[in-house]
Amino acid sequence: MHKTAVLFVCLGNICRSPAAEGTFRHLVKEAGLEHAFHIDSCGTSAYHIGEPANARSRRTAARHGITLTSRARQLQLDDFQTFDHILAMDRSNLQDVLRMAPAESRATIALFRTFDPEANPEKVPDVPDPYYGGDDGFEEVQQIMLRTSQSFLRHIRGVVHE
């Protein structure tokens, strides 16, 4: 059985994309669908390769019962063949992903918040980068991760069952 492969992408892979990965992984596990998904995250830059998620991201996720265990890595060319869905946290990273994507990419590439039920579909917002802000910014991002990941999972389940 083919696993649906989902890759979340931000700049450094220490705040937003690991939070999205951990949140989506948590929801998939709660739904009993771990066998059906391959989930990962990465950054478009090499700033933090090998580092764990930012401590503030980990603490915020933990308050919601979510564990972030990934280590930062950079987007690779083979990701475009490995993953079915590559979801960027903001337009800047989306442009970097699209620029890097080979013509034979199998991945559907989109902004993560395309699936946010609170987002205006006419102007999909970026996931704000909480790195230089306070704890409130990390909580705001976690709320975005929760509702958008739930919506994306519903979308994927609908596509898989069609």
Annotation says 16 is catalytic: yes
Of the candidates 79, 96, 126, 129, the residue annotated as catalytic is 129
Q: In what helix (H) or strand (E) does residue 86 lie, and over which residues does it extend?
A: strand 85-88
- Token pair 């919506």 is found at 151
Phi, psi for 128 (deg, rounded to 5): -65, 145
Instruction: Give the position of tokens 């603490």.
Output: 59
Q: Give the active site residue among 15, 16, 58, 116.
A: 16
- Candidates 10, 90, 116, 126; catalytic one: 10
Active site residue 15: no
Report the distance separating Cα 136 and Cα 149, nearest Å.
20
Positive or negative: CA dihedral 73, 78, 79, 83: negative
Give yes or no: 129 in active site: yes
Whats the size of the chain, residue-wise? 162
**Alpha helices of 48-118 — where are they, by DSSP H?**
55-63, 79-82, 91-100
Catalytic residue numbers read 10, 16, 129
